[in-house]
Amino acid sequence: MDTVAEDYYALLGVSRNATADEIKRAYLRAARELHPDTNQGDPETEERFKAVNRAYETLRDPERRRRYDMFGPEGDRAGAGAGADPFGFGTPGAGGLGDLFDAFFGGGNPFGAQGRPGGRRGPTAGEDVETVLDLDLSEAVFGISREIALSLPTTCSTCDGSGARPGTTPVTCSMCNGLGEIRRVRPSVFGQMVTASPCTRCGGIGEEIPSPCPDCRGQGRRQEERSLLIEVPAGVDEGTTMRVSGRGASGVRGGPAGDVYVHLRIPPHPTITRDGWDLLSDLHVSMTQAALGVQVPFDTLDGSEVLTIHAGSNSGDEIRLRGRGVPHLRARGRGDFLVRVVVDTPAGLTKAQEDLLRALAAERGEEVAPPEAGLMSRLRGAFK
């Protein structure tokens, strides 16, 4: 073989510093293009296919790649060792044939369940179920137990999930002889290649039902209402999804149940907002309360507290209530409750109130707008 063909990186079309993932992707792409089954009667393509396999088997192994980088193909062959399995067949996590199966079978193993001929697929697992659970802010902060009702396929009590009429039993599938799959053998460059697909008669279960259950019609499950208790932990937030394993739809004919995914929805609170683990709210006080100071009751999610507004407070001042926020989901402690002071300017003043404020402004030397003229004064001024 010429020197170009012995350049494993060039064979795969990657650079010498390519990552393992880049090498694998390049190999799968080349294997699809060069596989003898798609290029029958082309000996040159078959040789290139073998060379690509040889290159990949070397470069996917860190130690063999190191020897190749140092000494070339001869160094790799010298270190590979007699009797080594060049394809990694049967080796957990190895490439080789397993990677070819990825390329040509979409990740499926053509040798049946567990990598061995003769493995039944078994009953199909049930579907996952999704639902939405509405909580108020207090329930999200402190957690809650809530029962929800679901309508979903449940194991048939009449046949106990077998799908067969009481007093009868399923029988071995006549098409697949109980294997649950149909196998086909075809020649390849490696010898005979076995491919497998689910049996269309029994759906991969390996059994037929001559006399189906009248209540579930051979499915082993039927639609029913089911109550499910959801334990919502303290501190969850809007958009959180909880998974309840094994409580979804029951599988066909005794198959395992799927999962339930509960999406939490938390409508906005009228006065409190959430910012991470902290809670935020406004406290409105009058101008005189802000100027002179006051103690006012304030409602938190933990209950009512008395807050002290110090004399001279301004809008935007914050009062931090430590440990009154949201509990941490995966740690101890809670966030804080931040109360923002909002000073309300009085409006709709009476004449006496306006006079008092003007007197205060004069006392403090503050310039204010002159009082508005009365209606008769404005009319007299208009005719002058």
Q: How many CB atoms lie within 10 A of CB 340?
A: 14
Reading the block at residue 168, the tokens are 């009868």
Per DSSP, the three-state class of 360 is helix
Q: How far apart are CA 321 and CA 316, in angstroms?
A: 16
pLDDT of residue 32: 75
pLDDT of residue 168: 92
Residue 184, strand partner residues:
195
pLDDT in tens, 101-131: 444 444 444 444 434 334 455 677 889 999 9
264 within 8 A of 150, measured Cβ to Cβ: no
pLDDT in tens, 209-227: 899 999 999 889 999 999 9
pLDDT of residue 7: 84
pLDDT of residue 197: 84
Over the chain (384 residues), what is each successive 10-residue block's mean pLDDT?
61 89 85 70 80 87 84 63 40 45 46 42 81 96 95 92 91 86 77 79 84 91 93 93 92 89 95 96 96 96 95 96 93 95 94 93 92 58 56
pLDDT of residue 198: 84
The DSSP code for 328 is: P
pLDDT of residue 93: 40
Structure pTM?
0.59
Nearest CA-CA partner of 139 in 333, 269, 305: 269
pLDDT of residue 37: 61
pLDDT of residue 225: 93
pLDDT of residue 382: 56
pLDDT of residue 331: 85
